[in-house]
Amino acid sequence: MKKTLFIVLLLASFSGKSQKSSLNIIPQPVEIEQTAGLFTLTKSTIISYNNASARSVADMLVQKLNTPTGFLLKTQEGKGGAIQLILNETNNDNIGKEGYTIVSTTKAVIVSANTTAGLFYGIQTLVQLLPKEIEAKAVAKSSWTIPAVKITDYPRFAWRGIMFDVSRNFFSKEDVKKYIDQLARMKYNTFHWHLTDDEGWRIEIKSLPKLTQVGAFRVPRSGHFGDRAIPKDGEAATVGGFYTQDDIREVVAYAQDRNVTIVPEIDVPGHSMAAIAAYPELSCNKNPKTFVNPGAAMADWYGNGTFKMLYENTLNPSDEKVYEFLDKVFTEVATLFPNKYIHVGGDECYKGFWAADEGCQALMKQLNIRHVEDLQGYFMNRLEKILKAKGKKLLGWDEILEGGISPEATVMSWRGIKGGIEAAKMGHDVVMTPTTFAYLDYNQGEATIDPPIYAGLRVSKSYSFEPVPDGVDAKYILGGQGNMWTEQIPSLRYAEYMSYPRVWALADVYWSPKASKNWDNFAKRMEAHFERADLAQVNYSRAVYDAIVKTTLKDNKLSLELGTELSDLDIYYTIDDTMPDSFSPKYSSIVDLPEGPITLRVITYRSGKPIGHLITLKRADLEKRASK
């Protein structure tokens, strides 16, 4: 079938060298050589480890294998097992700290690495070499075989992360651990935990109890986020929750066992409405009626990136009590998270309340600065000194570049890649996480199918992401991450739906060699993982099977252009108010639509069977999306 030009270009834009292996591993290993034969896992198979520090990895593997196989597999120290986990006695420089090798034959499987992290990633690949039934939640029937292979694998980037927002909607520690477990299996090593925002403060700070007593709860509301009513006078705030410090320690330890570093985010000086609701004196206006936002509209947006806040949600940079507050917060945060980074937000900070505040104006005069925007630079430098005193490095969204930051600060580029390029050229370490490729709360396909959100991001677009821009020294690009904002995501089940398969695509981007990128190859592996996810009871989107509908309006003539992300789908459509099937017109080239009221209905088929959602659009809808 002739595909439309925009889809051909989309697929061709990242049609790199394909791996010859038929194995469906995500992320794609660096080198795979498949040979003849199979290793068969039986109830008598022993899993051995040659170093006591590798025992926990061996135990995890046994735990994963025993449920679906029904075997009672055991581990033993030494090198005598049919499956051997080997910590190298002599360092293998080729694979580094997180790499591994796998050699499987008909007689044995040997996973080798320099570190326990490498062994952990090795067993993730080993599990993917087994039949899909290994993902079952109960005993399943299968031939438990592993193909004979030689694999050498190591990551492209050191930072492979996912940000999870638990402020807009609260997720239990059990949900968080389950999500971390899923990410670790895709070889992600960083979990960016967005713990505070206008909609909730989620971490216990013992020296400031109101942060969770007040800031962790909001009034109950239903409906679309951004359309909800503000609290009524006297209305009880009953929705929310927070993590005790014991909860935090438990989740941190769980993540560490899976080689995942947790980076906490305390979002300041903007996005601080929940903190101000607890302690109104931290703001410029000190309004005692400040509330935790239940999902009401917070700002007027002007379309060019500028906005005006309707409610005060910024800390007062001229008040020394704010820095005393921050010192208390970060003293306790620093003791809970052993990694070197603390994310401090810094994004979307509205300066209007500062401009009207006498204390801020006096501070500007004292500092001899003319622009209120420069107060954020002052605030961030004060905050960085607080973090340094606790042995931590400041990490923030790309707005922290405004007003100046120290060379040691690390920048997370979210407003496209421009901020990351600027930061790297200034010598800052950068994590690339642009909206255009990595925002997991965006719709994944046809906007009329999924619940509405303000933008879209297809899995093929995520897969096409290249974190190192042209002209930038790669040594400053630590890696990248995907961001899961949860305004419209109230449950873990739906978080999974929005994550996958895009999280799988980004796993390839951050781990696998750039030269191995090939969309058709990834698509095959992705579909194999759909079947694994079904057995694992993990949710995911099937938007990749849906048609892509584009229109053009020229000289009052409306033209229709259809395409698909997958190359082997057929598209059928109707405009005569009938339901399309495989006997309807089959799309092959641009269609000039007739004048007058019409309803377009589109569906995709594969091998004679329907596979995508039915898309229904009236003429007015088609005209709205037309490119002129």
Q: Which residues are catalytic?
A: 197, 271, 348
The rounded distance, in Å, linking the Cα atoms of 595 and 580 is: 20
The rounded distance, in Å, linking the Cα atoms of 394 and 409 is: 5
Name residue 408's amino acid. E
What angle separates helix 245-257 from helix 173-185, to the nearest 10 degrees? 20
Give the 3-state secondary structure percentages of the chain, helix then strand then coil, rounded to 5. 30, 25, 45
Name residue 102's amino acid. I
β 261-268/200-201 pair status: unpaired
By the 8 A CB rule, do 484 and 498 touch? yes
What are the Cα distances from residue 609, in Å, to 541, 563, 603, 613?
19, 18, 10, 12
By the 8 A CB rule, do 506 and 438 touch? yes
Give the up-direction half-sphere exposure of residue 30: CA atoms within 13 A in the CB hemisphere: 18
What angle separates helix 320-336 from helix 374-389, to the nearest 10 degrees? 40
User: What's the N-to-C CA distance of the chain in angstroms?
Assistant: 27
β 615-618/599-606 pair status: antiparallel
Burial class (CB in 10 A: 0-12, 13-18, 19+), 614: middle
The rounded distance, in Å, linking the Cα atoms of 270 and 266 is: 10
Please write down the long-range contacts of 156-159, taking CB distance under 8 Å and 24 or more positions apart: 156/479, 156/510, 156/511, 156/512, 156/513, 156/514, 157/467, 157/477, 157/478, 157/479, 157/480, 157/510, 157/511, 158/189, 158/478, 158/479, 159/189, 159/190, 159/431, 159/478, 159/479, 159/480, 159/481, 159/510
**DSSP designation for 296:** -
β 548-554/557-563 pair status: antiparallel
β 239-240/261-268 pair status: unpaired
